Structure 1
Amino acid sequence: MHYTGTIWRPPYEASSLLLEVTAGCTHHKCKFCTLYADLPFSFRMSPLEDIAADIKEASEMYRRLQGHQITRTFLTGANPFVLRSDRLTEIANLIRAGFPEMETIGSFARITDISTKSDAELAGLRKAGYDGLTIGIETADDEALRFMNKGYLAADILEQCGRLDRAGIRYSFFYLTGISGAGRGEAGAKATAAVCSQLHPTLIGANMMTIYPDSELYQEIQRGAWAEESETEKYKEVRTLVENLNIPTVFAALGASNAFQMQAKLPRDRQKLLDFLDHVIENVGEDELRRYRESVHHL
């Protein structure tokens, strides 16, 4: 299999076939991000012959596991959904040729990847099997989005994910707890809940801001241009987000950046989740939470 650098996937894609079709990120400007720092380039598309060879290798492997079928593929790279619709369709055709039982294809996507596709193209991609995108919106706090160089604003999240809803392409959001900075987390959470509550994410996954010395954000902190939330503030921010979400969805905090992992259905389990977060806020000290943050040497 052709894999380049560290391969990132959401926790819920653990049983999916991981297929590299891109490596790196087309944006590569978010101040907090170091995920693709190990690559000698910003972004690269995989040659179709490499993709076809990997599908063939994976298909032969799964055939040896008698009775085991694979029904979902997750395309790796920071934002494979940036690829043109015709190339994504060609990749879907290659996957189905090797795995006739394949039902859906997912990937990470940026908000800007959606905006480059027409409504007809999105509908065609859904027909080709694309469903269940993971979108790192991070927040709907416009001030934070601008400062972190995300390349879009809250209005773009609403517009582009509304188009996914109309195309029938399901999606999950990643929320980055702490992105708004010290003293602004709960306001950022409320803004994000207001936007999410107008959309239909199947899951909202919270990750905790973890700042590394090789990030541009670390340099901003050294210059005094930005201040990190305390760890306790981050849990208050998560609580505010959960309290203000007004849609049926799954809320999860399952990544390594979270000292306490959780998953619950909203609104059914809201109070149970709020009680758990209150317990963390009231009974787990800042020092203990900070020790965990400092132990996360790499996400």
Structure 2
Amino acid sequence: MHYTGTIWRPPYEADSLLLEATAGCTHGKCKFCTLYDELPFKFRPATQETIEADLLEAQTWLHDPLRKAERSLFRLPSPKRCRVFLTGANPFGLRAKHLLGISELVKKHFPSCESIGCFARVTDVARKADDELAALADAGYDGLTIGVETGDDDALSFMCKGYAAPDVVEQCARLDAAGIGYAFFYLVGVSGKGRGVVGAKKSAAVFNRANPWLVAANMLTVFPDSELYSEIERGNWAEESETEKYEEVMALVESLSIPTEFAMLGASNPVMMQGLLPEQRQAILDALGRVVSETGEEGLRTYRETLRHL
């Protein structure tokens, strides 16, 4: 299999066939991100020839392709018995024609595979016409993971995300219309010191106007080689305390009014948890409160400072 650099995937794609479609990020400007700094280029799509070679290789070691996907802990949208996850920061940024070509290869070599997911940016959706989104849905694209990060426009602008909160609502409505499901990644702490709860409430107001099957919260970890670290040194931004981050998460959970799954499962989270909203809201809030009371700022900060890699 052809893989370039560190391969990133959501926890709930553990049972999916990981197929490299791109390497690097089309945007590459988010101040907090260092995930793709190891690459000697910004962005590179895999060739159709390479993708087909990987699919042929995968056939040799997958007796029953992705049969474990049915046992996922998560309620994937329209659960399929066979799923492929395209790796790269945002493969959905590829042209629709290219993505349709990939789906044709997947169906050629794994005809039972009905679902293809990947990371996506809000701007990736915006660049596609409605008929293209519909064609991608028909081709099996579903369950995208969108790194929305926040619905706080001030934070989105400062972090150079390249879109605003209204864009999230608009583009997710277009995905809904096309029949493409999606999950949100929420970045706890991205609004900065003293603004966590404000950012959470603004984010919930945005998320409540969309239909994510999952809201996954991940704790911001500022690494020394990030642009955000330089902003901190220049006095332009300050990081939330660890307990403030948990207060932010609690405000988010309290403010979400849509039926969805909530999870904290990435390595950036000292304590991992998941549950359904609204059914398990109080249980989630109680668990978050116990983390703060039992671990405290010192214990949580120790974890953050010793986390060398996501």
Which TM-score band applies after superposition, normalised by the shorter structure?
Answer: over 0.9
1:281 positional shift: 2.3
Q: Distance in 2 between matches of 1:68 and 1:270?
A: 32
1:74 corresponds to 2:74: no
**Structure 1 pair 148/66, CA: closer, same or farther in 2 (3 Å)?**
closer
Task: Write out aligned runs for 1:225-236 (5 A).
Answer: 225-236=236-247
The residue that corresponds to 1:206 in the other structure is: 217
1:68 positional shift: 5.3
TM-score (norm 2): 0.94
Cα pair 2:149 2:185 within 8 Å, conserved: yes
The residue that corresponds to 1:56 in the other structure is: 56
- Of 147, 152, 161 in structure 2, the residue corresponding to residue 150 of structure 1 is 161
1:168 corresponds to 2:179: yes
Task: Write out aligned runs for 1:1-299 (5 A).
Answer: 1-63=1-63, 71-299=82-310
1:209 positional shift: 0.4
Q: Distance in 2 between matches of 1:120 and 1:47?
A: 25
**Structure 1 pair 66/228, CA: closer, same or farther in 2 (3 Å)?**
closer
TM-score (norm 1): 0.98
Q: Distance in 1 between matches of 2:275 and 2:205?
A: 19
Q: Distance in 2 between matches of 1:17 and 1:66?
A: 8
**Structure 1 pair 202/89, CA: closer, same or farther in 2 (3 Å)?**
same
Q: Distance in 2 between matches of 1:203 and 1:131?
A: 13
Superposed CA RMSD in Å reads 1.3
1:283 positional shift: 2.9
**Structure 1 pair 66/181, CA: closer, same or farther in 2 (3 Å)?**
closer
**Structure 1 pair 228/88, CA: closer, same or farther in 2 (3 Å)?**
same
**Structure 1 pair 166/41, CA: closer, same or farther in 2 (3 Å)?**
same
Q: Quick one: which amino acid aligns to residue 43 of structure 2?
A: F
Q: Distance in 1 between matches of 2:268 and 2:283?
A: 22
- What do the CA deviations read for 1:128-160 (whole angstroms, capped 9, x no partner)? 000000000000000000000000000000000
Q: Distance in 1 between matches of 2:49 and 2:289?
A: 52
Q: Distance in 2 between matches of 1:68 and 1:164?
A: 27
Q: Distance in 2 between matches of 1:147 and 1:239?
A: 24
Q: Quick one: which amino acid aligns to residue 220 of structure 1?
A: E
1:282 positional shift: 2.7
1:284 positional shift: 2.1
1:276 positional shift: 1.1
1:67 positional shift: 10
1:189 positional shift: 0.1
Q: Distance in 1 between matches of 2:267 and 2:66?
A: 33
Q: Distance in 2 between matches of 1:142 and 1:226?
A: 15
Q: Distance in 1 between matches of 2:181 and 2:140?
A: 11
Identity %: 61
Q: Distance in 1 between matches of 2:50 and 2:132?
A: 25
- What do the CA deviations read for 1:23-60 (whole angstroms, capped 9, x no partner)? 00000000000000110000001111000100010012
1:278 positional shift: 1.6
1:177 positional shift: 0.1
Q: Distance in 2 between matches of 1:3 and 1:278?
A: 40
Q: Quick one: which amino acid aligns to residue 258 of structure 1?
A: N
Cα pair 1:24 1:44 within 8 Å, conserved: yes
Per mean C-alpha deviation after superposition, the further-off stretch among 52-61 and 68-77 is 68-77
**Unaligned 5+ runs, structure 1:** none
Cα pair 1:34 1:215 within 8 Å, conserved: yes
Q: Distance in 1 between matches of 2:45 and 2:205?
A: 36
Aligned length: 298
